[in-house]
A = this chain, B = another copy of it.
Amino acid sequence: MLRVQKYGGSSVASADHIKRVALRVAKEREAGDDLVVVVSAMGQTTNQLIDLSRSISHNPAPREMDLLLSTGELVSGALLAMALRDLGHGAVSLSGFQAGIRTDTDFSRARITQIEPKRLQDEIGRGNIVIVAGFQGTTDDFEVTTLGRGGSDTTAVALAAELRAPVCEIYTDVDGIYTADPRIVPDARRLIDINYDEMLEMASEGARVMHNRAVELGWVYDVPILVASSLLDDSGGTRIHGGELMENRNKVRGIAHDAGIARVTLLGVPDRPGIAAQVFSPLADAGISVDIIVQNAGQHGLSDLSFTVTRDDLPETLERTREIQAELGAADVTADDHLAKVSIVGAGLTNSPGYAGAMFRALRDANVNIEMITTAEISLTCVVHQDHVEDAVRALHRAFSLETPDDIPL
């Protein structure tokens, strides 16, 4: 069987870590499987390279940044190949370019356009364990690109899709996806499996084990993804897939939260068509992701428009929003950067009356004030003050009895 695995930065953080991963991979090779192993950069390498670039330039060119950052995965890949060869196995490490990973030209967040699998297939055919540097590819002009945060997961899922692996195995420092962040909810439970769409909703801070793009790619190409621990021999992990779930009586699958958000409000906005585009196009052009948007119809043909961004994006968002305010002739711009999101996630939630009421009651009983509400197909999200987010997560986990296993007997 062909197995595609990915080991994250914490799993290859040192020479000893790399040797441990090599032992794991070697064992699987000895069991007869073909292996393609995607690696992230060692531990803090990527952050160190970013720091180095900042000590040179406040605004480094994305093209140079990508060339710089791509080196981290080359290093860990070469070292893992050396370790595997020392264990007596044929192994070869490939750069993104060598592995045939072609992308568009959008530096620092490139998208994979194509995988040319010849070299990969040749190396597998020769009996080599193939190590692939994650997070990177090249354009048609041989420019080196990186895939953005979580890019190594995307590399792994794309390779699994291209090579028709039955599953993409993501090994990390946690043993799966939990019903809530175990640091906040001690009796949070590891899920046996979860659907792609639910995973996307869960993938906010706390559950941020995998990047959304990798999950989306798995969904599109129907590649099941196993998230498991690289430290445990058999953690079971959590399987992300599109089929029937093994446990499904409880529609709420988990509680997601994100403590790092900020809200910006444009007050007294003229209430006419095209306003939303006028507000959000410049933000999108500046690369700012807007999450929740709430518009309140107001009096005198004016309304208030609120939206959330990550706290990191707040300074630039405010700058742009003040420009927009002037253009629109809006009354004022206000901001609150001490907010958090908390969500209940589960397929079919919004079609099931009662879950929203239960959520609001649980928050009221925990004395958590709700600042904004938004609903999606499979989630219900409340924005709360960040000091209350942990209480909110615990209250909701308890309210929906997520600590109780819910497997359907096979």
Name A's B-contacting residues (CB within 8 A).
Answer: 15, 18-19, 49, 52-53, 55-61, 63-65, 67-68, 70-71, 74-75, 77-79, 81-83, 85-86, 92-93, 95, 97-98, 142-144
Contact = CB atoms under 8 A, between A and B. Distances in A.
A67 B57 contact: no
B56 A67 contact: no
Contacts of A81: 61, 64
For the complex of A and B, 10 pairs with smallest distance between CB atoms: A71-B71, A68-B78, A15-B55, A57-B82, A60-B82, A64-B78, A57-B86, A67-B78, A64-B81, A56-B82
Given A81-B64, A85-B61, A142 B98 contact: yes
B56 A18 contact: yes
19 contacts: A15-B56, A18-B56, A19-B56, A52-B75, A52-B79, A56-B79, A56-B82, A56-B83, A57-B83, A60-B85, A61-B81, A61-B82, A61-B85, A64-B81, A65-B78, A67-B77, A71-B71, A71-B75, A97-B97
A85 B64 CA distance: 10
B56 A95 contact: no
Nearest to A67: B78
Nearest to A49: B75
A67 B97 CA distance: 12
Contacts of A143: 98
Contact of A74 (B53, B63, B67, B79): B67
A49 B81 CA distance: 15
Contacts of A53: 78-79, 82
A79 B50 CA distance: 11
A380 to B, nearest CB: 45
A82 B57 CA distance: 6
B56 A86 contact: yes
Nearest to A66: B78
A60 B77 CA distance: 13
A74 to B, nearest CB: 5
Contacts of A19: 56
Contacts of A64: 78-79, 81-82, 85, 92-93
A73 to B, nearest CB: 10
A59 B60 CA distance: 38
